[in-house]
Amino acid sequence: MKIFTLLSLIFSIVFASESNLDDLLSKYRKANELHNQTKDESAGHVSVFSRSDLDKMQAYTLNDVLKTIKLFTLKNTNFGFTSLVKTPYSENSMSSIKIYINSYELASVTSGSGLAQFGKMGLNHIDHIEIYQASNAIAFHGEAGNMVIKLYTKNPSRENATVAQAAADSKGGARGQVIDAQSFGEYSYLANADVSSNKYDKKQSPNGSIFSRDGDRGQFYFNFAKRDDYTIEAGVAVESYDLYSGFGNKINDGDIKSKYSYLNFTKQLPQNIELIFSTTYETIEIENSDFSGIKLFDGSLSKNMQVENGSYVYDFILQKRDTYKDNRFFYGVQVKQKTFFLDKLKSNGVEKSVILGPKNLDIYMLFFEDTYSINESNKIIFGAKLDYFKNHTTPSDIQNIMRLAYISNLTNELSFKTFIQNMYVYPQIAQTTFSPIYDANPNLKPSKSHVMKAELEYEKDDITITLSGGKAKAKDGIVFNRTLNMFVNNDGNSNFSQVSLNAEYRFSTENKIIAEYFKAFKENANLSPDSGVLLQLYTTFGKFDIYNELVYRSSYTGIDNVYIAEGYDYTAGAIYHYNKKINIKLKGENIFDKAIQSSIKGTTLPSLERRAILTMEYIF
């Protein structure tokens, strides 16, 4: 009987259909994807882009993912890079967005956010991305943020391969990427090199100026690790691109050169203690010539301006996880030191003197979180964080964060979670210390906010439906005062509420459709889209992967009083798996050229222009 059963099993395996075997393999891959180990449902409203999702999307840069995030719109700036603007605020408002690669926070002291330098970052070495809205400002170390974007790199032990990609697009741009990941015993490494030449349509302003944002970018990432012991990560990004419209009103010429490098060390110590140390060095060089002259902070006009500045950052974290009965504790300390420097400020070829605000900022942080399990279906999470700021110029400052969350599995299919959080957003160096075109305000106070959000999720078989909503109230908001020519704290309060609905249906392991809608409500005028829709269709059949995406954003009137019509960004891609070593990829971005626009000095443009991209991938 046992022999008969064994023979029957062998017979079934040998003669099983190829599609059934593929489906079994797909289910195995899905069950073992890394995001199942890293995702934290208690940390906020979480959206996950899995390894399979990113591959089918042909998400070559971080911007390919950022443009799909609900309650935000990807817009352009005067200086040629992109900015993620919170609905329905203007691009001048502060939205504290934090980006991490594993345990390292990508943060720019000079520009205030890692988005400026890393929107064009290649994702070839990234395994998956988790996006937390109403994020846990305590569990995610560092300064407070209302949204956290976590990038997790590929696991070398799962790769053990060298992969090369070469791409060309219809605008004349090109990209080359190589990733090598290997493991040997307890040790592993991952190395990624990425070079790109980015081309865009030129724009002509009403006064005849030609705006360009063409540029070149190179990045390198290296990761060396010993299993369950330590990880060493290093990254370098170098970029040079045209300044688009620049600081003035009639640009003659201009460019930005930026360099960003970091080293991050993570050590696992006994008794669930983790040590993280990182150091960051950044420089930015700007040259801008303008026919009509650039009005500087002191009121003078500059036909040619040169700025060279940068920063150093040192970050130390010691944190521990512990359990006691039904409680899970997470607590620790963090010390971060930031130093800003200005190497050059020239106007019309002459060095210009400027009185800088605070150049140094030391932050000392204590954090604690307790997750209490009432029973298997219900949890309460309480967290607190105390941050001490010292800039050696103005009086020291103490800020705190309080967070309360409740998570419940109401039934096998229905779950509920809610978050209440009091937090702050600290001013940026560009607001308190130095800007070539406006006065620094070292006396700026942090803006404060009170956030309350809830989420209800229904999941049964192949369908998941998620309804979420929330309200936020902010005070001491940081706004630009044109009369004083500096950033100041707003005396009034700002109220904001939002609702979103997400539905996902899985036809099979590799085929699914996602539909999402959001709407935001704010007391004053909407300065960016207040509603949006996302449709995504992932399809696999035979040797083909097909992806379709539609991003809709509603019309709005911007801060410059220019009306922008609603936008429909349709993107589609196909991947042909020729064999186990060769993949051929074709992608069309903003195919109908109807994506939402940004208004910049008399011109309008989308963040991602219409283009076709052809990619060849070879696996060694």
Cis peptide before 88 (omega within 30 of 0): yes
Q: What is the mean pLDDT of residues 62-74?
A: 94
Share of the chain above pLDDT 70, in %: 93
Determine the Cα–Cα distance for residues 391 and 389; give it in Å rounded to an integer: 7
Instruction: Of 474, 545, 552, 544, give the one whose Cα is nearest residue 519.
Output: 552
- The Cα-based distances of 37 to 128, 406, 424 in angstroms read 11, 21, 30
- pLDDT above 60: residue 217: yes
- pLDDT above 90: residue 81: no
Instruction: Of 45, 48, 27, give the one whose Cα is nearest residue 37.
Output: 48
Complete edge-to-edge strand list for the sheet that includes strand 104-106: 45-49, 126-133, 147-153, 97-101, 104-106
Q: Which amino acid is at 273?
A: I
Place 114 in a pLDDT band, splitting at 50, 70 and 90: low
3-state SS, residue 449: strand
According to the model, what pLDDT value does residue 560 have?
Answer: 87
Strand partners, 502: 466, 516
Cβ-proximal residues to 418 (8 Å cutoff; 6+ apart), any chain: 405, 406, 452, 453, 454, 455
Counting other chains too, the contacts that 350-357 makes at CB distance below 8 Å and 24 or more residues apart are: 352/296, 354/297, 354/434, 356/433, 356/434, 356/440, 357/393, 357/432, 357/433, 357/434, 357/440, 357/441, 357/442
- pLDDT above 80: residue 135: no
pLDDT tens digits along 370-386? 999 999 999 999 999 99
- pLDDT above 70: residue 362: yes
CA contacts within 13 A on the Cβ side of 355: 6
According to the model, what pLDDT value does residue 89 have?
Answer: 83
The values of phi and psi at residue 404, to 5°, are: -130, 130
The overall longest dimension of the chain from CA atoms, in Å, is: 95
Q: What is the mean pLDDT of residues 43-65?
A: 93
Determine the Cα–Cα distance for residues 385 and 403; give it in Å rounded to an integer: 9
367 contacts 390 by C-beta, under 8 angstroms = no
pLDDT tens digits along 23-40? 555 555 555 667 777 888
Report residue 363 as tokens: 């932050």
Instruction: Of 542, 590, 541, give the one whose Cα is nearest residue 568.
Output: 590
The values of phi and psi at residue 291, to 5°, are: -60, -40
Task: Please spell the DSSP secondary structure of 497-558, one letter per residue.
Answer: EEEEEEEEEEEETTEEEEEEEEEEEESS--SS-SEEEEEEEEEEETTEEEEEEEEEE--EE-
586 contacts 613 by C-beta, under 8 angstroms = yes
Place 97 in a pLDDT band, splitting at 50, 70 and 90: confident
320 contacts 332 by C-beta, under 8 angstroms = yes
Strand partners, 466: 457, 502
According to the model, what pLDDT value does residue 95 have?
Answer: 64
- pLDDT above 70: residue 346: yes
487 contacts 442 by C-beta, under 8 angstroms = no
pLDDT tens digits along 512-541? 999 999 999 887 767 889 999 999 999 999
Q: What is the mean pLDDT of residues 207-234?
A: 95
Instruction: Of 94, 88, 141, 84, give the one whose Cα is nearest residue 445.
Output: 94
- The Cα-based distances of 359 to 94, 124, 139, 441 in angstroms read 21, 36, 28, 12
Instruction: Of 524, 535, 405, 525, give the one whose Cα is nearest residue 470.
Output: 405
Neighbours of 574 (CB within 10 A): 17
Q: What is the mean pLDDT of residues 498-520?
A: 95
Determine the Cα–Cα distance for residues 340 and 389; give it in Å rounded to an integer: 15
Place 236 in a pLDDT band, splitting at 50, 70 and 90: very high
Strand partners, 402: 384, 422
Place 7 in a pLDDT band, splitting at 50, 70 and 90: very low
With residues binned 3-state (H G I as helix, E B as strand, rest as coil), the percentages for the chain, rounded to 5, are 10, 60, 30
Report residue 288 as tokens: 């801008």
149 contacts 131 by C-beta, under 8 angstroms = yes
Residue burial 515-549, b: 16+ Cβ < 10 Å; e: rest: bbbbbbebeeebbbbbbbebebbbbbeeeebebeb
- pLDDT above 70: residue 440: yes
Strand partners, 274: 268, 319
- pLDDT above 70: residue 357: yes
3-state SS, residue 8: helix
According to the model, what pLDDT value does residue 412 have?
Answer: 93
According to the model, what pLDDT value does residue 36 have?
Answer: 74
According to the model, what pLDDT value does residue 90 have?
Answer: 80
- pLDDT above 90: residue 428: no
pTM of the model as a whole: 0.92
3-state SS, residue 585: strand
Q: Which amino acid is at 237?
A: A
Instruction: Of 206, 345, 310, 257, give the one whose Cα is nearest residue 79.
Output: 257
According to the model, what pLDDT value does residue 526 have?
Answer: 77
pLDDT tens digits along 283-310? 999 999 999 999 999 999 999 999 999 9
pLDDT tens digits along 158-206? 889 999 999 999 999 999 999 999 999 999 999 999 999 999 999 999 9
DSSP state letter for 428: P
Instruction: Of 571, 573, 606, 574, give the one whose Cα is nearest residue 590.
Output: 571
Q: What is the mean pLDDT of residues 485-499?
A: 88
According to the model, what pLDDT value does residue 570 have?
Answer: 97
- pLDDT above 90: residue 21: no
According to the model, what pLDDT value does residue 491 have?
Answer: 84
CA angle (50, 56, 61) in 5-degree steps: 80
Q: Which amino acid is at 389?
A: F
Determine the Cα–Cα distance for residues 339 and 373; give it in Å rounded to an integer: 42
Phi-psi group of 284: left, alpha or beta (phi > 0 → left; psi -120 to 50 → alpha; rest → beta): beta
Report all structural domains of the chain as residue ranges with CATH numbers, in order of start: 1-9+41-164+208-259+280-307+323-619 (2.40.170.20)
pLDDT tens digits along 550-603? 999 999 998 888 999 999 999 999 999 999 999 999 999 999 999 999 999 989
According to the model, what pLDDT value does residue 210 have?
Answer: 93
For all residues of the chain together, what is the average pLDDT? 90
Q: What is the mean pLDDT of residues 56-75?
A: 95
- pLDDT above 70: residue 3: no
- pLDDT above 50: residue 321: yes
